[in-house]
Amino acid sequence: MDFGLSEEQLLLAETVTRFLDERLPVPRVREVIDGDESIDPDAWRALAELGVTGCLVPETHGGAELSLLDAAVIATALGHGAAPLPFLGSATLATLVLRGAASPAVQSEWLPRLADGSARMALAAAERIEQRQDSGVTFEGGRLQGTALFVIDGAGADAYLVAVGDDVHLVPASADGLAIKALPTIDRTRGLVELGFEAVAPADSFLAVGAALDRAVDAGRVIVSADILGSCDRAISMSVAYAMDREQFGRPIATFQAVKHLCAEMVAAIEPARSLLWYAGHSWDEIPEESALLATLCKAHFSTVGHDLVRIATQVHGGIGFTDEYDLQLWFKRVGLSRQLLGGPEKLNAHAAELQGLA
Amino acid sequence: MDLSYGPEYETFRAELREFLQTRGDEAPGRAGEVASLGGESLVRWQKLLIEHGYAARNIPKEYGGAGAEPDPLIATILSEEFGRARVSRGVAGQGIDMLVPTLLEHGSEEQKRSYVPPTVTGEMVWCQGYSEPGAGSDLAAIQTHGRVEGDTLVINGQKIWTSTAQFSQMMFALVRTEPEAAKHAGISYVLVPMDTPGLDVRPLKTMTGHAEFNEVFFDEVRVPVANIVGRRGQGWKIANTTLGHERNMLGSSATSEGLYEGVVRVMREEQVDGHSALESPVLRDRLMSLQAKTIAMKCHAMRLLGSRLRGESSGVAGLVTKLNGCQLNHDLAGLAIDAMGEGGVLYRGTDRSRENGRWQFQYMFQLGLIIGGGTAQIQKNIISERGLGMPREPKVAASAAKSGVKG
Ligand SMILES: Cc1cc2nc3c(=O)[nH]c(=O)nc-3n(C[C@H](O)[C@H](O)[C@H](O)COP(=O)(O)OP(=O)(O)OC[C@H]3O[C@@H](n4cnc5c(N)ncnc54)[C@H](O)[C@@H]3O)c2cc1C
């Protein structure tokens, strides 16, 4: 019996964190999000050497074939660094859909390139989770038609995996009739795009792969939760450090009990959530019969906890926390985006009830 | 991450399951209910459990326990399996859970021999005489004092909020014996027989309608000086060992899991306009939020167990259980009441009340636990100070460096 992260996982967290501190410190993050590209492509390729880009790619295709809990450890570090990198969209969602749904030939064509960071992919599946107005894609007579919204890390992807019902269609970014439109979001460290399909012929189609889609989405929910966790860790450490430093009424605000209690509430909320996340990651790897429920409840819980937490952290900072110049807003917004991605808490709670036959 | 316990533990678990299946009927009450303290059926059950090594497991044989080495995995299996079978774990409470570990650590040989065996079997019931009208969170402010006359300690003063005092034969109390000493240095830890002349117990009815606790008055109460545990004036340090044990008891995830399952049952059975309460999207949303928290607390307990097995400190993670767990239990009971609608207000004494008012009782009782054993605010002081290294409360820092708060 050993519940917790292994030595290797702690080392992995440290390695990625150190990499980000050196290669993608906050000033660099700001440069990237103020520039034309939505991610830092050099950092992404450099992370390939650490096994990050291909962490969920099988070894036979040049990946590191790590567990989802390992990937969650990486995602926590990326959240902590507010890294503008397509870990969720390309390295998790698209990679796992390819692994679970694509033909061997397509896997051989794409997975090695995802692993070495030379290509990126994104999954268009928002409609599978929640059908919103003005969206939806159909597949008739060999052609895709319609609109796919909120494609995570879709900007600059080389190809898209488009879910239509239980089928998945592979569409290169250069396909005729495909329009890619960036959607400005609050969180500029990760991009969403909208895909327009005008009689687009997919390069390949994989039919009746609903189970693989669901499993990839479950994994995605764990990874977003991990990203929220990392963001929260950052918000807490910034808050405590700021409270110790900032003086009012002739003493550090950390001596005011109201401030101490806000900080205590943040940790008290995040520590059991961290335990839940580890278990949700572990169950995706090892206890498949439980993993859909755990991923769903985990993401619902993190959406709520994270949302409250970054609000509290901002309040601990006072006016400075509300400015663009001070970095905390990066995590406030990153958590704001994460909360809505792959289902908000109400949607996920309803889904969790269904999964257990409670609905 | 490895959640398997290994074959020798699975054998232990299988034997325990078999025992609970074949002998579980002999247990008094059902898990969750309080079997009457000191009652015959409880003592009989406790003795059977000790014989099998399922209770008082780590207490040495010469003091009436089963004498096994402490093993957190065995402890976890015991808690899981008794919980699953919904069978009484035998004697629980302040005697066996708080006093016994304290005596084993700090008591004289004679104290251990006289008090541990009957406490372990449940024949001797104890209460904790710490809080006073003027000393709650600031426990070291106690005023109840003892003056030494030869071999006798003469105690005067008052304790309050003393749980189960009316059923107890003995009290472990904090008494100021060195009036000249500094706040924390003048306190002794004293064992007081409840039938000593001059000692008066007055039950205090709580909001639940029961007297869960009492006031205890001391008027020239004479006990032997030999009833002091450890040395005179050392009581504060000794009390802090028991408070540590208490903090681990409150907010356990097994309680939350039991309450969660109960709420699901209530919501399945309650009918609203011809539909079960589970079909209400709003109530169901609340249920799922609480399920996530319940599972999180269970995972958290496993994580703390993991740290203990590795011999590592759990750091700040180890300080958040009481604050989260007690609030969660209160919220779970609150949801059950809301799921019953107007019927949720019914209490004991009507057939229409579900489970004889269990949920209203729990709702109130769990609030008591948010306050007792170190309030939620005191927990937040502890988390921010010990966990995050933020500055200590001014008063505490000035009077004593060591933990000057109950918790
Ligand atoms: C159900 C129940 C059972 C109990 N059983 C026992 C028992 O068996 N034996 C026993 O000795 N005691 C027992 N107690 C007493 C319990 O330990 C105290 O009630 C508790 O420690 C709080 O003390 P108090 O009631 O004096 O409240 P106070 O200490 O007066 O607290 C009142 C309010 O002030 C806040 N406060 C106080 N100090 C601080 C501070 N430094 N920082 C921030 N906020 C602060 C508290 O959080 C609370 O909100 C029991 C209590 C309950 C409710």
pLDDT in tens, B156-179: 999 999 999 999 999 999 999 999
Closest residue of chain A to B303, computed from CA coordinates: A3
Closest residue of chain A to B6, computed from CA coordinates: A1
Q: Which fold has domain A211-355?
A: Butyryl-CoA Dehydrogenase, subunit A; domain 3 (1.20.140)
pLDDT surpasses 50 at B398: no
CA distance A156 to A171: 13
CA distance B215 to B89: 29
Q: Provide the residue type at B338 as one letter.
A: D
The percent of residues above 70 in pLDDT, for chain B, comes to 94
* Cα(B286) to centroid(ligand 1), Å: 30
Return the pLDDT at B405.
Answer: 45
pLDDT band at B244 (very low <50, low <70, confident <90, very high): low
CATH class of the domain defined by A7-115: mainly alpha
**Ligand 1 pocket mutation, candidates B361, B371, B390, criterion most atoms within 8 A of CB:** B371
Is the Cβ of A353 closer than 8 Å to some Cβ of chain B?
Answer: yes
pLDDT band at B400 (very low <50, low <70, confident <90, very high): very low
Return the pLDDT at A36.
Answer: 83
Verify whether residue B178 is a known catalytic residue. Answer: no
Return the pLDDT at B33.
Answer: 47
Q: Start-end ranges of CATH 1.10.540.10 in chain A?
A: 7-115
Return the pLDDT at B245.
Answer: 64
Q: Start-end ranges of CATH 1.20.140.10 in chain A?
A: 211-355
Q: Which residue has the tokens 């059902």?
A: B30
Q: Which fold has domain A121-208?
A: Butyryl-CoA Dehydrogenase, subunit A; domain 2 (2.40.110)
pLDDT surpasses 90 at B344: yes
B278, exposed or middle or buried, with CB in 10 Å at 0-12, 13-18, 19+?
buried
Q: How many C-beta atoms surround the C-beta of residue B178 within 10 A?
A: 16
pLDDT surpasses 80 at B404: no
What are the E-state strand segments in chain A? 121-124, 136-140, 143-152, 159-164, 167-172, 178-183, 192-200, 204-206, 247-248, 251-252
pLDDT band at B34 (very low <50, low <70, confident <90, very high): low
Taken in order A260, A268, B328, A331, is the CA torsion positive or negative? Answer: positive
Give A12's contacts in chain B (Cβ within 8 Å). Answer: none
**B371 close to ligand 1 (CB < 6 Angstrom):** yes
CA distance A81 to A331: 9
pLDDT tens track for B87-114: 999 998 889 989 999 999 999 999 999 9
**B10 close to ligand 1 (CB < 6 Angstrom):** no
Q: Do A4 and B73 touch (CB under 8 A)?
A: no
pLDDT band at B250 (very low <50, low <70, confident <90, very high): confident
Cβ within 8 Å of B, A 40-79: 69
Nearest alpha carbon to residue A91 among A128, A127, A122: A122
Q: Do A267 and B320 touch (CB under 8 A)?
A: yes
pLDDT surpasses 50 at B407: no
Atom of ligand 1 nearest to the CA of B373: 17
Q: Start-end ranges of CATH 2.40.110.10 in chain A?
A: 121-208
* Cα(B371) to centroid(ligand 1), Å: 6
Most A CBs within 10 A among B12, B286, B303, B396, hence the mutation to make, goes to B303
Q: Do A353 and B264 touch (CB under 8 A)?
A: no
Which of A271, A273, A349 lies closest to B288 in CB terms?
Answer: A349
CA distance B52 to A255: 52
Residue from B81, B246, B257, B270 carrying the catalytic annotation: B246
What residue ranges of chain A have pLDDT lower than 50? none
Confidence check on the interface: ipTM exceeds 0.85, yes or no: yes
CA distance A233 to A97: 30
Domains of chain B in sequence order: 7-92 (no CATH), 125-231 (2.40.110.10), 251-387 (1.20.140.10)
Return the pLDDT at B402.
Answer: 37
Atom of ligand 1 nearest to the CA of B131: 11
* A–B CB contacts, 8 A cutoff, strictly below: 150
Q: How far is A353 from chain B (nearest CA, A)?
A: 7
Return the pLDDT at B263.
Answer: 98
Q: Are A129 and A217 in contact (CB under 8 A)?
A: yes
- What's the whole-number average pLDDT of chain B? 91
Return the pLDDT at B96.
Answer: 92
CA distances from B159 to A253, B173, B203, B218, B375 (A): 37, 9, 12, 8, 18
